[in-house]
Structure 1
Amino acid sequence: MAKQPTPKAGRTATATATATAAAATPTITVPRMDIGISDKDRAAIAGGLGRLLADTYTLYLTTHNFHWNVTGPMFNTLHTMFMTQYTELWNAVDPIAERIRSLGHPAPGSAKQFAELSSIPDAPTTPPKAMEMVQILVSGHEAVARTARAVFPLADKAADEPTADLLTQRLTVHESQAWMLRSLLED
């Protein structure tokens, strides 16, 4: 009958097998990021882009909510306009998140993170009247523009042209959307 290993011998055999397997597995070393932007600047820019992402996503949700719930004589016009806007916002979130990742930082993506980072309040739980929706969206687009503009000096200081380009695109969209919506509120 074969002799059973003692617990001590079993642990030693397991440790030896683990060490052998570890030696056979190549170690993957992630190189330090060197894209010409300091770690400190990348962190500051990524933080600002995280706020922009949260604002953009929050405005997307509000706009989509209003698309579903708008009523009144301007229903068709606003329903279509809101759909165009929420589609554009949806298409904007991925490039913002991917730029954060390109800077070596995780992109925020939970409702809790967005609530903490966004400067835009949630949509009202009871759908407002159509023109109140328009006013809320004007304020939302203006808020996103302010957030994007606040990140611009960070990107400029770090010579981060891809982020500056992204911010310019976002500013152009949000200022234009705010103007179009604001025009609906004029007498």
Structure 2
Amino acid sequence: MEAKIGISKDRLAEVAHSLSRVLADEFVLYTKTRKAHWNIEGPDFYNKHKFFEEQYNQLEEIIDEVAERIRKLGHYAPASLKQFLELTHLSEDDREQNDSQGYIKMLLADHESIIIHIRENINNYVAPLKDLGTSDYVTGLMEKHETMAWMLRAHLS
């Protein structure tokens, strides 16, 4: 059934597509964070193993929230690896070493990329799309990534 929430059908489709790109970024970052959790090596293994677990759990919640936001707008969320890889602006991880500094730098760069991407698009939800709810939602999402990036940055020397 069509969502009748005061936003035109075309605008809702555009918002849903934009959020689908966000969802793809979140899923790719989640996967890369899982990889860091699974494959971390070195003298700080245990601490970083637990740290990456905390981060991927946060990302898992974000993924669910973004997908549900898309559904609230009356659209279906992408849910295949193929779709995510087509929609994301992030690249897959091709690291050869499994050290914490390398993983942290890679994940930090992705969080910062997502922050910039969201920041550049916040106002698009307000005008011309007239969706203040999504603008507010992605502002909160950006703040979550700022916190996660700060936590990663704090581990760098």
Q: CA deviation at 1:151?
A: 3.3
Report the Cα distance in structure 2 between the residues aligned to 1:53 and 1:146, rounded to whole angstroms: 15
| Aligned residue number for residue 79 of structure 1 | 49
Partners in 1 of 2:82 and 2:126 — Cα distance?
A: 30
Identity of aligned residues (%): 37
Matched AA of 2:151 = M
Tell me, yes or no, if the aligned pair for 2:3 and 2:74 is still in contact at 8 Å: yes
- SS of 1:35's equivalent in the other structure is coil
Out of 74, 85, 110, the position equivalent to 1:140 is: 110
Long gaps (5+) in structure 1: 1-29
Counterparts of 2:97 and 2:70, CA distance in 1: 33
Match for residue 141 of structure 2 among 164, 167, 170: 170
Aligned residue among 76, 99, 104 for 1:129? 99
Answering whether residue 64 of structure 2 is matched by residue 94 of structure 1, we say yes
Mean Cα deviation higher: 140-149 or 121-130: 121-130
What is the aligned counterpart of 2:88 among 112, 118, 138?
Answer: 118
1:26 aligns with none
- Checking the alignment, whether the CA contact within 8 Å between 2:41 and 2:98 is kept in structure 1 is no
Judge conservation of contact 2:3–2:72 (CA < 8 Å) in 1: no
**Aligned pair count?**
156
CA distance in 1 between counterparts of 2:39 and 2:22 reads 26
Q: Deviations over 1:104-157 (max 9, x none)?
A: 222111111100111111122645322110000001111221232233112222
Q: Does the Cα contact within 8 Å between 1:41 and 1:154 map onto a contact in 2?
A: no
Runs of 4+ in 1 over 6 A off after TM superposition: none
Q: Does 1 or 2 have the higher relative contact order (CA < 8 Å, sep 6+)?
A: 2
Aligned to 2:154: 183
User: 1:179 Cα shift?
Assistant: 1.8
Q: Structure 2 regions of 5+ residues with no counterpart? A: none
Q: CA RMSD in A?
A: 1.7
CA shift for structure 1 position 65:
0.9
For the pair shown, the structure with the greater C-alpha radius of gyration is: 1
**Cα 1:150–1:44 shift into 2, 3 Å:** farther
| Distance in 1 of aligned mates of 2:26 and 2:114 | 7
Give the TM-score, by structure 1 length: 0.76
* 1:29-83 per-position Cα deviation (integer Å, ceiling 9, x unaligned): x5x5421112222122111111110000110010011001111122122111100
